Structure 1
Amino acid sequence: MTTGGNTFWSSGSVPLIEPEFLSSIIAAASDIALVVSAEGIILSVVVNSHSESFGNLRHWEDRPVSEFLTRESIPKFERAHAAYLLGEVPKKQLELNHSDNAVWQYPVRYTFHRFGHENAALLLGRDLRPIAETQQQLVQAQIALEQGYEARREFDARYRVLLANTKQAVVFVSVQSGRVEDANEAAAALLGLNADALRSSSFAQHFMDRSNVELTESLMNATLAEEEGQVTLTATRTQASVIAHPVVFRAGGQRILMCRLETAASKAATPDAAADHALAMFRAGSDAMLFMGPKGVIISVNESFLDLVGAAHLSDVVGRSFGDFLGRGQIDLAVLTEQPQRSGHMRIYATKLVNDLGTRLAVEISATHLADADVAAIGCMIRDVSRTETARGGSSGHMSNTAPAEPARNVMDLVGSAALKDIVAETTDVVEKMCIETAVELTNNNRVAAAEMLGLSRQSLYVKLRKYGLLNKNG
């Protein structure tokens, strides 16, 4: 043991350490200590009492060290031990991975020390698991940090692309300073300057007769309006009347105003009258109106539809399948979605509307495929015909004085040329064939759906299809 010339340890000032105290001192000086013979046999194992994770290692004694090392650690130990036996004590610390019956593995950093016992070596080791765990935590933290930076860069790129390509003039203003945090080229052009000059400047300086505090306060008050608030301003450079639509949000610990800008002239431009009238009809019309996606998911409805199904709020209906409110469920829904998408529209389809309480209401539905819209949808006009059916039922016993319809005249022409039984049978067959053809066409040749629509069993439908020569039609 070298002490830099100090003879304290060799002068006899310190008495020899008693054997019963030596093991505890060695254990306290390391996490694990091994006494290894010249043959590589473990003579003794001493474990620090504070390192409970090692457990009881008494079974290591009198067994070769190599039995408790991983495959890659055995050559490293053998080289260091051979050098030790040749009198070259390894100066570099030796990191070995222990394994015990493949149950667990752990790394230990050892130092070799001479031991006055027939070339036996004293190996003092430090458990590297706490260091490995710390390194692993640092690696995970670094990975999470990199992922956070990557996500931030991705969001920033999306924001920049969106801001640069939108035609709407947009300005972001700090509530605290009143300065422009960011703006796009459309906003700069509207105010008569370039985007770089607009950024970081006072937003109020670009408008006439507005101080910084006054303008910020006006914009904040507009954000509190029940409907969309707006502030009318006059641009200093272009003298144009500008309308700002502000929205406030919090980011980075401060409040930011996002202002959408437009000129009063563009806002006052004549809108599409047909679109306005259609919107007014949708909101105030007496007939129920509904828009749904190609798969039948409801996008929007008017108040009349809510009244028909007894719903209190739009949230009770929007997002649900229209089939939930149809008498024949998915059968009706398939007809109302597939037929319009094939032919563009479908006229008067009779079915029943069912609310959440189970009440059934007779309705007629006309559907149109709106392929030219930004998002493809199917528009439905729904008319309550329950009162009409009741009126028809009440007057069914009274003959009309009006002239008979064409089908009725065709039937009358048969009178005198055939027996009544034959006339009725032939007329029934014609009507039955027409109904079957219509059901098969509406369900896009889905025989199961057509049978359910007609109230027939599938076997009965096939019999009638064969009877009228329709079995192979569209099959």
Structure 2
Amino acid sequence: MQVFKSPKEALGDLGAESAAKLIAAATDVALVIDPQGVIRDVAFNKDELALELDGQGRWLGSRLVDVVTSDTQPKIRELLLDATVRDTATWRQVNHPSPGGDDVPVLYSAINFGRDDRLLVVGRDLRQLAIMQQRLINAQQSMERDYIRLRHAETRYRLLFQVSSEAVMIVDATSELILDANPATLALFDSAAPQTQNSPVASHFDPADQPLVLSLLADVRSTGRDGRAKVRLAASGRSCDVAASLFRQENASLFLVRLTSQSAVPEVGAAKNASLLLKYFESAADALVITQFDGRVVRSNLAFLEMAQLGSAEQARGELLDRWLGRTGVDLSVALANLRQNGTIKLFATVLRGEYGAAAEVEVSAVALNDLEDKPCFGFAIRNVEKRLPTAPSSKRELPRSVAQLTELIGRVPLRDLVRETTDVIEKLSIEAALELTGDNRASAADMLGLSRQSLYVKLRRYGLAEHAPEGEAADE
């Protein structure tokens, strides 16, 4: 800190009133602190700052360390220690709690002015500086977010540019030099990237068609509208369509040029994969069927033809799948409704009927698709589950059908038959349990079940439990 060289001559006999006015005018807040750190006097340069910090007049008589936030109290102790013991004037930023909610930052310095070891603490309001710092941080964060978005967009652009099967290149609109070209373009030009980079775009076409290419670019540059021309390549002589579009980037005009070879050979890998998928579809062990959105068969494999007892795929094409799939005609409607709503179904149990009366229990899994013309369709995988081995041996008294299995029969078996089957199963199990509990005493078992002995004998024979009924004792219920 640099002080006046001759303060007595410069300032003269400066009284307490003048000094107080000078201090209040030169700082935003000034405090007189006694050796115990208690505030004995306070002055504010701004009324709104005085109202926000000491609106209730609680500072007078309070310790300075008690009117700042807890995290900045150590700074106050260091500030007072520097002024009293070390006799150095340092600046410390502390925060005062505010009734408005946000802390008020103030930069303080303390001076020992020699009267009763009191200290003069002067402060500067840093709220405007804090606001500017927060704006700077917000601006930096906004720039970082924009940068991240641009970087992600560039990554997506580069990835699309590289993997696109269409030949695409970026050409400078002024010099007509190639700035960038994707692998499909290099394959079409039959050249490497270093040879193509910064080469004239017209040089890659047949000399007889180069004026046509230059004319196309000139028209697009002057009108701003997309243009198209049919030319031949210099390397292979193949014909191709050239489409050019104009766009601006960083104050520069560029061409987006797309090439479509009319005699391009399909990609070997893609054709091989398509062939493998077709072979799998035809020879799969499970029945595979593709239908239209309304359930009409478009294509089916050999396994489906065998299960449906059909001689050729033409017999199935155009027919509704529920001609063979489902017992009551309801199953396919339910499956199609689920496919339209959810896009997929799994392990839907039903039956597949053949043309000549054969029937098989099957599980159906299906998924919604779009064909080459972007029309919705469905793919079905149908598996015969009749020969599937049970996971565990069933006990003697286990119900032949669980609740879930009975639920699956709804819509396929008439309710009358379903109720009769369930009633018979429960009745048989009850009779067996009663006989076991009574030690095969038929009279006690009939009593326990609330039946007459004659009715019990009839039911024993009905359910194949004739060994429990005496010979010659058969009576109608």
Q: TM-score, normalised by structure 1?
A: 0.54
The one-letter code of the counterpart of 1:81 is: L
CA-CA distance at 1:219 after TM superposition: 5.7
The one-letter code of the counterpart of 2:72 is: S
CA-CA distance at 1:13 after TM superposition: 5.9
Question: Structure 1 12/218 Cα, relative in aligned 2: closer, same or farther at 3 Å?
Answer: closer
Question: Which residue matches 1:210?
Answer: 210
> For 2:243 and 2:294, how far apart are their aligned partners in 1?
29
> For 1:29 and 1:339, how far apart are their aligned partners in 2?
80
What SS is found at the alignment partner of 2:264?
helix
Question: Structure 1 145/77 Cα, relative in aligned 2: closer, same or farther at 3 Å?
Answer: same
Give the paired residue count. 327
**Residues 15-54 of structure 1: matches in 2 within 5 Å?**
16-17=14-15, 19=17, 22-49=19-46, 52=49
Q: Please, which of 183, 201, 213 is the counterpart of residue 181 of structure 2? A: 183
8 Å contact kept, 1:97–1:105? yes
8 Å contact kept, 2:40–2:61? yes
The one-letter code of the counterpart of 2:210 is: R
8 Å contact kept, 1:68–1:100? no
8 Å contact kept, 2:370–2:377? no
Question: Which residue matches 2:141?
Answer: 143
Q: Please, which of 408, 419, 434 is the counterpart of residue 466 of structure 1? A: 419
Q: Deviations over 1:56-100 (max 9, x none)?
A: 5132011111211233433332243244334x3323212223336
8 Å contact kept, 1:369–1:377? no
> For 1:149 and 1:176, how far apart are their aligned partners in 2?
29
Question: Which residue matches 2:127?
Answer: 129
What SS is found at the alignment partner of 2:169?
strand
The one-letter code of the counterpart of 2:217 is: T
Q: Percent identical across equivalent pairs?
A: 21
8 Å contact kept, 2:95–2:103? yes
Question: Which residue matches 2:76?
Answer: 77
Question: Structure 1 4/157 Cα, relative in aligned 2: closer, same or farther at 3 Å?
Answer: same
Q: Please, which of 94, 97, 104 is the counterpart of residue 95 of structure 2? A: 97
8 Å contact kept, 1:171–1:259? yes
8 Å contact kept, 1:222–1:230? no
Is 2:184 the counterpart of 1:201?
no
The one-letter code of the counterpart of 2:77 is: E
CA-CA distance at 1:148 after TM superposition: 3.1
8 Å contact kept, 1:370–1:376? no
What SS is found at the alignment partner of 1:10?
helix
CA-CA distance at 1:118 after TM superposition: 1.4
Unaligned runs of 5+ in 1: 273-288, 293-328, 348-367, 381-443, 455-460
Question: Structure 1 169/120 Cα, relative in aligned 2: closer, same or farther at 3 Å?
Answer: same
CA-CA distance at 1:4 after TM superposition: 5.6
> For 2:196 and 2:262, how far apart are their aligned partners in 1?
21
The one-letter code of the counterpart of 1:333 is: A
CA-CA distance at 1:2 after TM superposition: 5.9
Question: Structure 1 219/77 Cα, relative in aligned 2: closer, same or farther at 3 Å?
Answer: closer
CA-CA distance at 1:51 after TM superposition: 5.4
**Residues 377-396 of structure 1: matches in 2 within 5 Å?**
379=377
Question: Which residue matches 2:443?
Answer: none
* Greater gyration radius: 2
CA-CA distance at 1:122 after TM superposition: 0.8
Unaligned runs of 5+ in 2: 272-291, 296-332, 354-365, 379-403, 426-477
Q: TM-score, normalised by structure 2?
A: 0.54
Q: Deviations over 1:14-45 (max 9, x none)?
A: 452562x5444323211211111112110112
8 Å contact kept, 2:168–2:257? yes
Q: Deviations over 1:308-352 (max 9, x none)?
A: xxxxxxxxxxxxxxxxxxxxx9886137776899699999xxxxx
What SS is found at the alignment partner of 1:60?
coil
The one-letter code of the counterpart of 1:466 is: V
What SS is found at the alignment partner of 1:182?
strand
Q: Please, which of 106, 110, 131 is the counterpart of residue 108 of structure 2? A: 110
Question: Which residue matches 2:52?
Answer: 55
Question: Which residue matches 1:333?
Answer: 337
> For 1:189 and 1:246, how far apart are their aligned partners in 2?
19
8 Å contact kept, 1:248–1:256? yes
Question: Which residue matches 1:358?
Answer: none
8 Å contact kept, 1:90–1:111? no
CA-CA distance at 1:187 after TM superposition: 0.7
The one-letter code of the counterpart of 1:190 is: L
8 Å contact kept, 1:191–1:237? yes
Question: Which residue matches 1:64?
Answer: 63
CA-CA distance at 1:124 after TM superposition: 0.9
> For 2:247 and 2:423, how far apart are their aligned partners in 1?
65
> For 1:449 and 1:29, how far apart are their aligned partners in 2?
93
Question: Structure 1 70/3 Cα, relative in aligned 2: closer, same or farther at 3 Å?
Answer: closer
What SS is found at the alignment partner of 1:94?
strand
